[in-house]
Amino acid sequence: MATVKGNGNTQIKQYEIFRCILLILGIILYYLHKLYIVINIPFINFLFGNISFYMISPVVPILLASAYAVAYFIENDKPLLLLLTIFDAFSFPYGTIFAVIFAFAIIYYTSPKLNRMQMMAMIIPLLIALPLAYYVSSPTPPSYTHPSVMVLCEQGGRGEYIIQLQDFPSPQSVEVQSVVIQEIQTLGGNIIDTTINPVNVILADIDSSKLPQLMSHEYVKAIYPNERIVRIFDTTQTLNDVKNLLNIQSVHSNGTGIVVAIVDTGINENIPQLKRGGKSAVIDKYEMYGDYVLPHGTEVACCIASQDPDYPGIAKGVDLLDVEVFHEDGIADVWSIIRGWSWVANWKLSHNRYVICSNSFGCPPTATSSEILRNALDNMVLKYGIPMVVASGNTGSQVMCPGDAKYAFTVGAVDKTNYIASFSSYGDEVDVVAYGVNINTFDDSGNLVTVSGTSFSTPIVAGCFALVAEKEKLPPLAMYDLFRTTAKDLGTPGFDKQYGYGLVDVVSAYSSATNQHIQRTSIEKTLTIALLPSTIVLAVVSTGRFRFGFGGGYYG
């Protein structure tokens, strides 16, 4: 035991012993999967979230514990202790739990007692930092580039336009719509449809010459043409067993209790492959242009929920929502996609179920109306808590919209040899890849077909989400992080534009989620709130007025 000089230095030694013991205990508890704290209050989750250096490697806390042990034998250890505290702030939840307990111990055992000013000096920074850190870490939609109304004017004549309004809470959104509707009608426009989620928009038929005047209204945010530009992604080609390739039989889950919305060309829920216990796996539907206008939607649905014993879906236990938004030619206008998403959001709000949305379609990312799709998709994730799994596209070039939205979980396609499919769109937006070449599924007549495309790698990933969600109903961004960090790396080491983070690995994702070892790709955002309590405690301990010790010993 080192000889220490001065009361303040003695107290720092006590701090070092506490931290060393806590780090070692943290390693043990982590691998025993014990003492995880989840509190459904966002601010509090900053302090007690399941984020830890232990998730990266057990070597990190071991090195930290060793460093604290070394610091104990160094007489002038304050600089090292300050450095260690910065790194130690990441040790969630154990580091923060200890810092909070230690702070209360200081307040109780310090002699003389802390005065009011000293108490306020410790509490006020916490009260300020907590909401600030929450705000900084909370995801926000990116800014969007709105089309020029002057360019739209040059098109001439009447047309269908999507008028996006300023963002307000729901009750005000309806009132704002009413005001703008009156303005549209005054300008000679006809209202076709409206919705307030996932974005507050109005679909109107109006002369393009009136658009500049409408754009000048205080509540109008942007105007987009309602273009028929959204296409499904599929091609036909021969056979493989995706469930065996993904080793899904080792996952003790089938998606029971989870809802997957298929926004597509409609589903024939009456084919035998979608019957479960005499009832259809489709529990509700929304139809814009017909029941099932093309086989594509049924083929996508069967990738997830087929009950066929020889060709089962990825997650046989899920319930499906059939959201039909395409015309018979396999093309949809932008409004129809937004309307379909709106129905899904409303369904979730009214039924209080965990919903995943599978989207096997896209449009050119440079299209005039593409920004409103990105905005709407981001809101589905951020406002309504719906994971949005989206196909990257079949262009063999840049990722299609809305797969390029910030909060889309974008899926490319590989063949059974784990080589990227020639048609799979690529770019910085790709999150993972999944099998999308020669997939066995069933068409709307119940016939076995073999299909290829990112249209089918996408529902495979949505089904994998459902398998995890049955056990751990993670928020969308946590689900995204889980599947990114557990993906099997392919291509060049680390993230790359073709494979993203790699091949989806539902076995690893399920194991990590059920053991509460959920890694996050933005761990540095929590530094602010983690560091603050530990730093304050260190400052108070360094004053030399702390008299609490081990074994009933007191220092003072």
- Among 134-148, 223-237, 473-487, name the one with the lowest average pLDDT: 134-148
Name the active-site residue from 77, 88, 296, 517.
296
388/319 Cα distance (integer angstroms): 16
pLDDT tier at 514 (50, 70, 90 boundaries)?
confident
Residue 332 φ then ψ, to 5°: -125, 150
Name the active-site residue from 88, 234, 264, 319.
264
Inter-axis angle of helices 7-31 and 78-88, nearest 10: 30
- Give the pLDDT score at 270: 95
Which residues, in sequence order, are CB contacts of 403 under 8 Å at separation 6+?
362, 390, 391, 392, 393, 410, 411, 425, 429
Taking only the tens place, the pLDDT of each residue in 393-412 is 999 899 999 999 999 999 99
Contact 326, 294 (CB under 8 A): yes
* Residue 37, number of CB atoms within 10 A of its CB: 14
Is 378 a known active-site residue? no
Taking only the tens place, the pLDDT of each residue in 173-207 is 889 999 999 999 999 999 999 999 999 999 999 99
What dihedral angle (degrees, nearest 10) is formed by the CA atoms of 255, 260, 265, 268? 50
pLDDT tier at 169 (50, 70, 90 boundaries)?
confident
Is 455 a known active-site residue? yes
SS3 of residue 466 by DSSP: helix
Tell me the pTM.
0.76
Is 296 a known active-site residue? yes
Name the active-site residue from 91, 455, 457, 512.
455
SS3 of residue 214 by DSSP: helix
For residue 123, pLDDT beyond 90 = no
